[in-house]
Amino acid sequence: MSKTAIVIYSDPKANSEEALGRVFNAMFLAYELKEKHQDVALIFQGTGVRWVNELVNPDHPANPLYNAISDKVVGACLGCADVFGATEDVKLTDVALVGDKAIPGTSGVIDLSRYLDDGYRIVTF
């Protein structure tokens, strides 16, 4: 069985159809893999951490899809949330802030290398 880590870097503050298209397609891939009972991990990294608060909003057009795959969300990068001003917004949701890898100058980031070590392929949006 294949294992896939999907990393969302897209920034909702871009206010573009392209940014929405990226996050939607990331979640659509997670949905497809979940339906196939494959191991999938959805990660919010970089400016993508800003999506968390957007997607949990019931009025957001991608909310129904987010709800369908929310059990596959690993978390949002803690250091990224700090840098991009999303820490407090993420804390208002059920999404974990993950800082499992110490990186100088940050409060810790999601260790993507461990996914590679565990045989995951990484897909970025």
pLDDT tens, residue by residue, 80-106: 999 999 999 999 999 999 999 999 989
118 pLDDT higher than 90: yes
Whose structure tokens read 């949701």?
93
pLDDT tens, residue by residue, 7-45: 999 999 998 999 999 999 999 999 999 999 999 999 999
pLDDT tens, residue by residue, 42-56: 999 999 999 999 999
Could you give all domains of the chain from N- to C-terminal order, each with its CATH number? Answer: 3-124 (3.40.1260.10)
Whose structure tokens read 């880590």?
5
Indicate the pTM of the whole model: 0.95
